[in-house]
């Protein structure tokens, strides 16, 4: 039988990385087995509806290459794929469940429920529905229904015994039934809760493997009870532990470290993000780390998913992003870096020159402007910058060096890397000095910074002849 997995996000307006990872695993599992990956939108909570959120989901999936085989935007044999459009389906199945004795009508209003909960909390009991409407007579129900009293349909959990299910990563899990709550299946607005909708939809859509976060682990027994009541085949479960910021902390939307979009605007490559989150909680079993989507599809195995929560390590993401950046061609790099160049440099420069300096020195594109902050304007720097122990330079001998450098550069018409390079090396050789004695002062005079992407020669090329000479003269002035 063909495997079918699904990604079933709520349209919340942003793509949490933990969520994206779940989508990735669902995609990988399906594709590894040659199966289908389905997208379903879980929008049964109208209060949480966010405009444009669904488009963001499409965009993210398309951008990362997690292409779905069925979904609201492309259709399929099991639609509709948006839960709010499946309203009538749920009602029918909820009523079927009532007939089967696995669910019941409940007419309790919010006030009563709050009161019950309050009392339970006071008594330090776990808060559960007290079963007030569990055994209403047929007459009572008919009467209230006819009178138009708002109602919900609740699951009727057995009061004794226990329920066991098998998870592909966690193994056998058993929960005592009396710790399970009679949750609402169908809300008073006629829409289902997640608890119900996911079971009905997964069955109707023929989903064979359910990949989701471990927050559903403790409610899965209830879902199994539902499958059993319907007489439906129970799917395979794959629960994934959460992604944490650090021990005891969650990734936060506010701090900009929780969503895929957050990382994209900071200049992380989509493939790098995908690669990193794949490894956050999954291992291919060997030492491979840099893997393309296709390679991950090949290597994917549920057995490699880890059970404990994983802490999001920005350092490792940075490294992986750097690896991907280094594998970019110079042209590709320039294309992605262009918006950052435009932001950082107003002066007319050869962007390919910038790229050749930056491509090995960039971990994420957002770092670029800071690296280039000396291009437009020479920063005000201290003469002490000319002192470098290893280069054996001081402000004094740097002045001498700059005074020697200036006329030589003035005489260069062919302002290119090799020409400048040869002239500077020749100068050092003829003076019987180490290259650094010439090049360190040059770089400082041109940049005014202790660290720069590239050396003095590269910077001279980028700045051009006129600006370079000007900065060297200013250096001489500063040191005189």
Partner RNA sequence: GGCCCCAUCGUCUAGCGGCCUAGGACGUAGCCCUCUCACGGCUAAAACGGGAGUUCGAUUCUCCCUGGGGUCACCA
Question: Which of the residues are catalytic?
Answer: 253
Closest CA to 193 of 216, 211, 176, 217: 216
Of residues 53 through 92, those in contact with RNA by CB under 7 A are none
- Kindly give the interhelix angle for 456-463 and 351-358, rounded to the nearest 10 degrees: 160
- Does 244 help bind RNA (rule: CB under 7 A)? yes
Beta strands in 291-380 (DSSP E): 310-311
- Does 144 help bind RNA (rule: CB under 7 A)? no
Which of 89, 168, 173, 328 touches RNA (CB under 7 A)?
A: 173
Question: Rounded distance, CA 465 to CA 417, Å?
Answer: 11
Which of 63, 85, 109, 343 touches RNA (CB under 7 A)?
A: 109
- Does 382 help bind RNA (rule: CB under 7 A)? no
Angle at 132 between CA 129 and CA 133, to 5 degrees: 105
Total residues at the site for RNA (CB under 7 A)? 93
Closest CA to 356 of 461, 228, 241: 461
- Does 10 help bind RNA (rule: CB under 7 A)? yes
- Does 188 help bind RNA (rule: CB under 7 A)? yes
Question: Rounded distance, CA 309 to CA 327, Å?
Answer: 31
Residue pair 321/430 in contact (Cβ under 8 Å)? The answer is no
- Does 113 help bind RNA (rule: CB under 7 A)? yes
- Does 439 help bind RNA (rule: CB under 7 A)? yes
Backbone angles phi, psi at 344, to 5 degrees: -90, -25
Which of 142, 313, 410, 416 touches RNA (CB under 7 A)?
A: 313
Which of 97, 274, 457, 479 touches RNA (CB under 7 A)?
A: 457
Share of the chain residues as helix, strand and coil, in percent rounded to the nearest 5 = 50, 15, 35
DSSP β-ladder status, 236-240 and 209-213: parallel
Q: Give least dist CB 256 to RNA, A.
A: 19
Name the residue nearer to RNA (CB basis): 235 or 456. 456
Name the residue nearer to RNA (CB basis): 1 or 476. 476
- Does 177 help bind RNA (rule: CB under 7 A)? no
Which of 195, 334, 355, 468 touches RNA (CB under 7 A)?
A: 195
Q: Which stretch in 30-38, 89-97, 139-147, 190-198 sits in contact with RNA by CB under 7 A?
A: 190-198
Closest CA to 279 of 231, 229, 321: 321
Which of 119, 179, 352, 382 touches RNA (CB under 7 A)?
A: 179
- Does 18 help bind RNA (rule: CB under 7 A)? no
């Amino acid at each position: 039988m063909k495997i079918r997995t699904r990604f079933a996000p709520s349209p919340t307006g942003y793509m949490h990385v933990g969520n994206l990872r779940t989508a990735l695993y669902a995609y990988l599992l399906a594709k590894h087995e040659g199966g289908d990956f389905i997208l379903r939108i879980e929008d049964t909570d109208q209060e949480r509806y966010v405009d444009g959120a669904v488009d963001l989901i499409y965009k993210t999936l398309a951008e990362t290459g997690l292409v779905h085989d069925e979904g609201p935007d492309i259709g399929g044999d099991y639609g509709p794929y948006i839960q709010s459009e499946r309203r009538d389906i749920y009602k029918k199945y909820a009523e079927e469940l009532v007939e089967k004795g696995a669910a019941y009508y409940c007419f309790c209003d919010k006030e009563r429920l709050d009161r019950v909960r309050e009392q339970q909390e006071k008594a330090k009991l776990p808060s559960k529905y007290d079963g007030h409407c569990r055994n209403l007579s047929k007459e009572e129900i008919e009467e209230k229904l006819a009178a138009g009293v708002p109602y919900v349909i609740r699951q009727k959990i057995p009061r004794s015994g226990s329920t066991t299910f098998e998870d592909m990563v966690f193994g056998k899990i058993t929960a005592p039934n009396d710790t399970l709550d009679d949750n609402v299946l169908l809300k008073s607005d006629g829409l289902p809760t997640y608890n119900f909708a996911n079971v009905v939809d997964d069955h109707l859509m023929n989903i064979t493997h359910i990949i989701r976060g471990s927050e559903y682990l403790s409610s899965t027994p209830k879902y199994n009870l539902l499958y059993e009541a319907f007489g439906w085949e129970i799917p395979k479960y794959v629960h994934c532990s959460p992604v944490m910021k650090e021990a005891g902390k969650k990734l936060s939307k506010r701090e900009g470290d929780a969503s895929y979009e957050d990382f994209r605007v900071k200049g992380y490559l989509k493939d790098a993000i995908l690669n990193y989150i794949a490894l956050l909680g999954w291992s291919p079993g060997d030492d491979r780390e840099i893997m393309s989507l296709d390679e991950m599809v090949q290597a994917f195995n549920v057995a490699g998913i880890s059970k404990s929560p994983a802490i999001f390590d920005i350092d490792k993401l940075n490294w992986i992003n750097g690896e991907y950046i280094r594998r970019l061609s110079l042209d590709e790099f320039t294309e992605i870096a262009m918006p950052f160049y435009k932001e950082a440099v107003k002066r007319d420069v050869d962007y390919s020159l910038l790229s050749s300096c930056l491509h090995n020195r960039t971990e994420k594109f957002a770092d670029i402007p800071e690296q280039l902050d000396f291009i437009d304007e020479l920063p005000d720097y201290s003469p002490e910058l000319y002192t470098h122990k290893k280069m054996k330079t001081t402000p004094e001998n740097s002045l001498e060096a700059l005074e020697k450098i200036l006329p030589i550069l003035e005489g260069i018409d062919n302002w290119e890397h090799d020409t400048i390079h040869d002239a500077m090396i020749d100068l050092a050789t003829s003076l019987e000095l180490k290259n650094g004695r010439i090049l360190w002062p040059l770089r400082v005079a041109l940049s005014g910074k202790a660290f720069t992407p590239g050396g003095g020669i590269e910077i001279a090329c980028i700045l051009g002849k006129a600006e370079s000479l000007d900065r060297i003269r200013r250096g001489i002035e500063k040191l005189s």
